[in-house]
Structure 1
Amino acid sequence: MATEGGPQRLLSAAAERGSLRVQLGVRECVRCGRPSPLLNCHHRLVPDEPATCGGRTVQKQQRRSSRWRRRGEYQSLPLPQMLESVREGLGLDRLPKKVKCVKGLISAACTPEPLEKGVLRARHGLPVFRDGTIRFDMSDVPVTHFRPCEIGTSWKRLKELGYPHDIDGEPLTSDGQLLELYPQDMIPSRNSTEHLIAICAFIDDLLTRFYGLDPFYSVETESDLVGQLAIGLAPHTSGGVLCRIIGFTNASAGYAHTLFHAAKRRNCDGDEDSIMLLLDGLLNFSRDILPANRGGRMDAPLVLTTRLNPTELDKEALNVDCAWFYDRRFFEATLTQPHPEELEDSMDYADRRIGSIGAVRGYGFTHGLDALDAGPKNSAYKILETMVDKMNAQLELGARLRSVVASLVVEGHFFPDMRGNLIAFTRQKVRCGRCGYSYRRLPLAGKCIRRRRGGRKAGLWGRSSGQDLCGGNLIMTVSEGAVRKYVKVAQHVMDTYDTSEYTQQKYLWLAETLDGLFANERIKVYTLDDFV
């Protein structure tokens, strides 16, 4: 919607301005033959009636150079009439007040998502990722066994889901029996239930109001989510893994099998991954709306693993210990501290089980738990408020483990962020606080020079007396605080912990660079000591 939606990018604000001129892909309706940039033709059959043609559109061939990354052209859309047709088609009394849109499409074909999907998401108060799906993030925690009473699911329901026996082979008859988790079953956080229920309601609304089908989920409570299929996806990857929800935990984490986390290309606990409902991914994910720039296809379920195969996992995931106990030879060998490979033949781990059912079933453990979520309910990184508190906790833990050095933390975390933020500040755009238009370079007038809506011609070109210009104040998109946010924290770490001289000199150079950039030589700040 360009800048017509205001700072909050509201669809209602853009509709108040009348027709919308934006860059969209060139498509043609196969039913009426008229051009329409939407997937379904938006032209009305009768001008005064909300019923639209609704024909399927196909992409129109364009003669353009290969250097063009995107194939969009500026087109005008009668947005108020389109929204009225959407409201009528969905059978709604009124549209939601806050339907947010993007300023511009960055996909190759510049194909927009149907307006109906955005309206229904806003109706249920749901956000959306750039690929059209809705997700919930949780910290990964590996687990291989559980009790029905620990996940809030009755033993009768688990028996229906394929858990007929406990780990001792006894028939499942109580909530206190110990069960082995199937590799593609998952126990998400109970914090996600409200979000997942809202997603189910949105999907059912989409099926009935937009596609004209029967609802699928009909979920009302937490127990209704048990047995539903979902997709697990890790950041910076493009492959999702199918999973099934069998219960929930009070911890702010996602409990799942070690093989499941490894299938998402994760090799340790504590990472942050996401899940999405399977039907949401099948209905709403589209390659056509993914960004065309570098990295645009990351964090998207381009492929879906429906059956987990241990032979396709990373080697590190197969080094998981599966033994129920350690024999005497192991404890005696620890006295001489041999190389682990010397005891490889006497250990029971997942890699030695490849090719048998033991690769996915029959995992053991040496020490049990009273409760699955008996430990911390939340990650310390989420609980601690300031960056200083988080860094102190990390360095304190590192001092105990003797595995983290303060210099490595500062150079590996703070310095790259400080340099990156500094570069972003010097290359930033400026934005008008009134109309929201962004400028790559600061206008010489020192204020917004974009023509107002309703003037001679909206845009930045042509002569003007100045009366029909926006004239709004220009604000920076990257603030000084965003660049300096790690300066005091880095100084605190170096003053408190032992850091190398090289790290300290590197910090001083960065700090002086920032002071030279932001210091105003024409303004001198005085203190009371200057007058004594």
Structure 2
Amino acid sequence: LEKERATIRIAAETGARQRGLGIAETDKVGRAAAASVPDEGPRDPTGYLAAQRLEDEHAIEGIMVIVRDLSELRWEHSAPVRVGCRMGRPEKAAPRVMNPMAHSLFPIELNGGNQRLLNNAIDKRTIRVQLGRRTCTVCGKESPLLRCHHRVVDAHGEGKAGEACGGATTSNPTKSNAYRRGEVQSVRMDEMVEDARIRLGIDRLPGQVKCMKKLNSRDQTPEAIEKGILRARHELPVFRDGTVRFDMSDVPTTHFRPREIGVPWKTLHGLGYTHDYRGNPLEDDEQTLELFPQDFIVAKGAADFLLRTAKYIDELLVRFYNMEPYYNADKHDDLVGHLICALAPHTSGGVLSRIIGWADCSGGYAHPLFHAAKRRNCDGDEDAIMLLMDGLLNFSRDILPANRGGQMDAPLVLTTRLNPTEVDKEALNVDSAWFYERDFYEATLNQPHPKDIQGRMDFVERRLGSIAAVRGYGFTHDCHAIDRGPALSAYKTLDTMIDKMNGQLALGQRLRGVNVRQVASSVVRSHFLPDLRGNLNAYGRQKVRCLKCGHSYRRMPLSGSCIQPKKETGRGLARMGVAKTEGGLCNGNLALTVSEGAVRKYIEVMRFVMDHYGVDLYTRQNAEWLASSADSLFNNDRAKQLSLSDFL
């Protein structure tokens, strides 16, 4: 019937167009012609309805219709609905490192070379850097630090090495309304670092102490150089707010066993875990305990890093602040019970927590309410933790960047007590029941709206206002270990992109519900092509950088070399880094900032996927066009390298 109607409609629309009718009139004529063919219905209405009902039942019930007819028992689908998923991002458990990495928040400009090494700045003795102007309240001298760094003068007028004035300084900027109030000053780096070394009581400086090129804070006040030296001794990177952090993927959990987190039950008993979730006294490593809302199970990969951080804090307290050590940790188990601050990016509020154990995975286990207090919902997010003493000692608002977003990802406030009524409602929808009633399962057979059956669920929201909002959570399925499974996903263990693509597409070939060609086309179209297109644009718009002084240009100078005024290294003002008024230019070689390899990195992988797994024609043509664009950009037809065999 539909085929006959389509034939008549095409003929009517063709005649209408030949008569010169418009689009709307032609469509109207075609519809009227198709409607002229009557629909008398099926020849056997009863049989047609029965066949349609049988087809619908098979689409929904499948083989269960026959099974129920052959058995007197009640049979239901074990999995009525199957949910597919994809990897949003690979797991992470690694230190937070700035780009480029630094140990100290002290500026040395270009005096430290390309790697910003403190030893290179010391070799120049006096350097010129932009720092905030401050005045000592004791000796009256200007010092950029919070405590005056000038040496104490003896009776003969000579400064005593290692003995600093130490007076508090006050800010007196001359550019009070400027975006950044710092001014270019001369700093005797050799004396400052030598005094710091003597006060710390160490024999020599670490091999590499990496500093900053410049400070982006408003007052441009640096931190004490001693902190950077001690961080370098313990191989710890610093973040822009002065703290040492470790990032981990968020993983929610409500229960654990002492065996799973590698901590003896006696230790946990002293931390408040006196009874298991059934109310029995804690006497065994195999008993299941309910996690306190503000306790944290750290990834084992962070154990050594946090231990080095604790030793750094103790050494800072003893050598710099002349106080007693706090952690006294010799092994990572000594950190169990100590407080940490957890902080999510794009927020400015940390949440107080406590280390209770270690998990063999690349994530941090915590209570769902705790993750919600950080404004996270555990959909692949990663957050940072820092030792609380580190944040209290080293964090300062004065060293935060003054540019847009500088106040974000900084512990400006600290939440000390978790309140379930103040977290996002998404965490209040967590199911905390021990089991589901039979009518719940039967209600799901009709696929109702979740709001229609939420009365049968035990949500956290229904517990607000009582102790049950934070304690007494249930679970329906137990496991042998919360971290059982691959410690790292294949995306991180496989080395090359070809190996990763082979792994993904080989898995697709084993799954009946996956079309490998569509998967390959989707990966090429959504990942490789946008990356190649963006890299081609970046290569055409890139800056050039001087290899000598580090200055970058948006446009290549006509001379083909750096045209910045040369900074001499002789005596007088030139030794301090001041450029001569009639001196020469830098004339350093210029280098590209985007390499050819960065543009071509996915071309071979893309061709491998297209040749071995196949893609649709449009995607193949688009990929070949972009690959030919890259070849025309980098290949020189005039210059061709020949081998000896070409002359035989």
Q: CA deviation at 1:315?
A: 2.2
Q: Distance in 1 between matches of 2:506 and 2:532?
A: 23
Q: CA deviation at 1:211?
A: 1.2
Which residue of the partner structure matches residue 144 of structure 1? 254
Instruction: Report Cα offsets for 1:224-268 as digits up to 9, x if no partner.
Output: 110011111223333222111001122232111122222222212
Q: CA deviation at 1:23?
A: 0.9
Indicate if the aligned counterparts of 1:452 and 1:470 stay in contact, CA closer than 8 A: no
Q: Distance in 2 between matches of 1:510 and 1:461?
A: 49
Which residue of the partner structure matches residue 165 of structure 2? 53
Indicate if the aligned counterparts of 1:140 and 1:271 stay in contact, CA closer than 8 A: yes
Q: CA deviation at 1:389?
A: 3.9
Q: CA deviation at 1:109?
A: 1.4
- After superposition, the Cα gap between the structure-2 partners of 1:152 and 1:72, relative to the gap in structure 1 and judged at 3 Å, is same
Percent identical residues? 60
Q: Distance in 1 between matches of 2:533 and 2:401?
A: 26
Which residue of the partner structure matches residue 26 of structure 2? none
Indicate if the aligned counterparts of 2:343 and 2:384 stay in contact, CA closer than 8 A: yes
- After superposition, the Cα gap between the structure-2 partners of 1:393 and 1:358, relative to the gap in structure 1 and judged at 3 Å, is farther
- After superposition, the Cα gap between the structure-2 partners of 1:37 and 1:411, relative to the gap in structure 1 and judged at 3 Å, is farther
Which residue of the partner structure matches residue 32 of structure 1? 139
- After superposition, the Cα gap between the structure-2 partners of 1:461 and 1:516, relative to the gap in structure 1 and judged at 3 Å, is farther
Which residue of the partner structure matches residue 201 of structure 1? 311
- After superposition, the Cα gap between the structure-2 partners of 1:54 and 1:238, relative to the gap in structure 1 and judged at 3 Å, is same
Which residue of the partner structure matches residue 430 of structure 1? 544
Q: CA deviation at 1:386?
A: 2.5
Is 1:333 paired with 2:468? no
Superposed, which structure 2 residues align to 1:255-294 within 5 Å? 255-294=365-404
Residue ranges of structure 2 left out of the alignment (5+ in a row): 1-107
Superposed, which structure 2 residues align to 1:118-133 within 5 Å? 118-133=228-243
SS of structure 2 residue aligned to 1:191: helix
- After superposition, the Cα gap between the structure-2 partners of 1:238 and 1:521, relative to the gap in structure 1 and judged at 3 Å, is farther
- Which segment is superposed worse, 26-35 or 163-172? 26-35
Q: Distance in 2 between matches of 1:376 and 1:30?
A: 59
Indicate if the aligned counterparts of 2:241 and 2:396 stay in contact, CA closer than 8 A: yes
- After superposition, the Cα gap between the structure-2 partners of 1:244 and 1:503, relative to the gap in structure 1 and judged at 3 Å, is farther
Which residue of the partner structure matches residue 77 of structure 1? 187
Q: Distance in 1 between matches of 2:581 and 2:629?
A: 40
Residue ranges of structure 1 left out of the alignment (5+ in a row): none
Superposed, which structure 2 residues align to 1:83-98 within 5 Å? 83-98=193-208
Indicate if the aligned counterparts of 1:139 and 1:269 stay in contact, CA closer than 8 A: no
Count how many residue pairs are aligned between Structure 1 and Structure 2. Answer: 527
2:309 counterpart letter in structure 1: I
- Which segment is superposed worse, 202-211 or 250-259? 250-259
Instruction: Report Cα offsets for 1:158-217 as digits up to 9, x if no partner.
Output: 111111110110111111111001111111112211111110111011111111211111
Q: Distance in 2 between matches of 1:39 and 1:411?
A: 55
- After superposition, the Cα gap between the structure-2 partners of 1:408 and 1:105, relative to the gap in structure 1 and judged at 3 Å, is farther
SS of structure 2 residue aligned to 1:188: strand
Q: Distance in 1 between matches of 2:275 and 2:345?
A: 36
Q: Distance in 1 between matches of 2:440 and 2:631?
A: 59
Q: CA RMSD in A?
A: 3.1
Which residue of the partner structure matches residue 334 of structure 2? 224
- After superposition, the Cα gap between the structure-2 partners of 1:525 and 1:337, relative to the gap in structure 1 and judged at 3 Å, is farther
Indicate if the aligned counterparts of 1:31 and 1:55 stay in contact, CA closer than 8 A: yes
Superposed, which structure 2 residues align to 1:222-261 within 5 Å? 222-261=332-371
- Give TM-score scaled by structure 2 length: 0.74
Indicate if the aligned counterparts of 1:4 and 1:435 stay in contact, CA closer than 8 A: no
Which residue of the partner structure matches residue 5 of structure 2? none
Instruction: Report Cα offsets for 1:465-489 as digits up to 9, x if no partner.
Output: x6xx655433233323223334444
Which residue of the partner structure matches residue 38 of structure 2? none
Indicate if the aligned counterparts of 1:3 and 1:437 stay in contact, CA closer than 8 A: no
Superposed, which structure 2 residues align to 1:401-480 within 5 Å? 413-414=527-528, 417-418=531-532, 421-422=535-536, 424-439=538-553, 441-448=555-562, 450-454=566-570, 457=574, 458=577, 462-464=581-583, 471-480=587-596
Q: CA deviation at 1:142?
A: 1.5
2:171 counterpart letter in structure 1: Q
Which residue of the partner structure matches residue 103 of structure 1? 213
- After superposition, the Cα gap between the structure-2 partners of 1:149 and 1:325, relative to the gap in structure 1 and judged at 3 Å, is same
Instruction: Report Cα offsets for 1:409-445 as digits up to 9, x if no partner.
Output: 6666556655554555445443343454545554444
Superposed, which structure 2 residues align to 1:480-499 within 5 Å? 480-490=596-606
1:58 counterpart letter in structure 2: T
- After superposition, the Cα gap between the structure-2 partners of 1:229 and 1:407, relative to the gap in structure 1 and judged at 3 Å, is farther
Q: Distance in 1 between matches of 2:537 and 2:138?
A: 51
Which residue of the partner structure matches residue 466 of structure 2? 356
Q: Distance in 1 between matches of 2:538 and 2:316?
A: 40
SS of structure 2 residue aligned to 1:80: helix
2:174 to 62, 78, 81: 62
Q: Distance in 1 between matches of 2:623 and 2:425?
A: 39
SS of structure 2 residue aligned to 1:105: coil
Q: Distance in 2 between matches of 1:288 and 1:509?
A: 52
2:570 counterpart letter in structure 1: G
Which residue of the partner structure matches residue 85 of structure 2? none
Which residue of the partner structure matches residue 69 of structure 2? none
Q: CA deviation at 1:525?
A: 6.6
Q: Distance in 2 between matches of 1:266 and 1:406?
A: 32
Instruction: Report Cα offsets for 1:123-155 as digits up to 9, x if no partner.
Output: 111111111111112222211111111111111
Q: Distance in 2 between matches of 1:260 and 1:395?
A: 37
Q: Distance in 2 between matches of 1:80 and 1:192?
A: 36
Instruction: Report Cα offsets for 1:474-512 as digits up to 9, x if no partner.
Output: 323332322333444455566677877776676566556
1:454 counterpart letter in structure 2: G
Q: CA deviation at 1:76?
A: 0.6
Q: CA deviation at 1:380?
A: 3.3
Superposed, which structure 2 residues align to 1:291-306 within 5 Å? 291-306=401-416
